[in-house]
Amino acid sequence: MIIFWLLFILFPKFAQSVTCPACPTDGILSEWTTNDDCEAPCGGCANLTYSRTCLSTDISASCTCKGPTTTSKPCNTQACNFPRANSPKPPCCDGSQPIVVNNWYHCGKVENLTPNSYCCPDGGVWGEWSVWVKGSGRLEYSRTRKCLSNGFKCKCEGEPKETINGCPCPPLSIDTSRCDDSTKISYNASRQENQYNPASCTATLILERSNFRGTFYKQDTVDNTQNMLTYIAYIENGKCQGTRFKAFDGMVILTNGLLDSIVFQCDIVTKMWNGLNPWVPKNMTNVTAAAQMVFI
């Protein structure tokens, strides 16, 4: 449960000068939150411990916050009905009074806080973008962000929501040229780019099932002399990897132009391309490039 402390509302005063600092005097702190439950149902008759974090250091390391990051404040501050059901107690505890906040009677004292003097940062202060989520349209993906400086009456410039038509992941490259050092196999043999589907966030690596245009297949002399094998080169976690892929049974070199494929799926939260070589079997995760290899 998150309870936002409503009562002690800060009314900042804005300086007019253009040369005033963009960082508010006390930085920008989050709202007070707590995970605890209030022990009293109404009247602010119990306290809860709240905490808050400094948000402005995320925007600029030098924009540090002043003030405590934990506090104890009355909770369930909505005024109790008076007289209360089982006693004539007043509607508010601790000498606080019912005051109207957001069209409801709450118990509290309006604190006389010294107003902060600061100007709004240029363009306001945006929070981090959320992860991408698939929208309702076939190609639609969107993400959102919050204006952190809004609570300080500083408007943010720009949109709180971004919608794009197409997968937010970058296409899966076939550039596996960095793999060239490891073996005697020539990489980067794919004759076409991986087929990118922006609606489903998939990329299909096309594998040639025959030695029609290059030496894609060799007999598996290690595990099974009856299998023909091809190899896939891919960059995983920034490192070159290779995996064997079964082409077909039998030892005849085919030149019939048949194709095979491996579908990579991009996880829109982590933006990582992941695929499975079902034959080995082997997961390929966090892949940025994948291509069929050719033997020389």
By the criterion CB under 6 A, which residues form the site for ligand NAG? 45-47, 72, 74, 94, 174-175, 177, 188, 237-238, 281-283, 286, 288
- Name which of 76 and 210 has its Cβ closer to ligand NAG: 76
* DSSP assigned state of 87: B
Q: How far is the CB of 226 from ligand NAG (least distance, A)?
A: 23
Are 12 and 114 within 8 A, CB to CB?
no
The two three-digit tokens of residue 11, written as one number: 């009314």
In the chain, which residue ranges form alpha helices assigned H by DSSP? 56-59
Cis check for the bond before 83: say yes or no (omega within 30 of 0). yes
Identity of the residue, 134 or 282, whose beta carbon is nearer to ligand NAG in the bound complex = 282
214 contacts: CB under 8 Å, gap ≥ 6? 189, 208, 294
CB of 251 to ligand NAG, least distance (A): 27
Cα-based distances in Å from 28 to 5, 117, 130, 264, 269:
16, 13, 20, 42, 28
**Do 254 and 150 contact (CB within 8 A), yes or no?**
no
Tell me how far, at minimum, the Cβ of 283 lies from ligand NAG, in Å.
4
Kindly state the DSSP code that residue 43 receives in the 8-state scheme: T
Cis geometry, peptide bond prior to residue 281 (ω within 30 degrees of 0): yes
Residue nearest to ligand NAG (CB): 238
Please, what is the minimum distance in Å from the beta carbon of residue 175 to ligand NAG? 6
Q: Minimum distance from CB of 23 to ligand NAG (Å)? A: 29
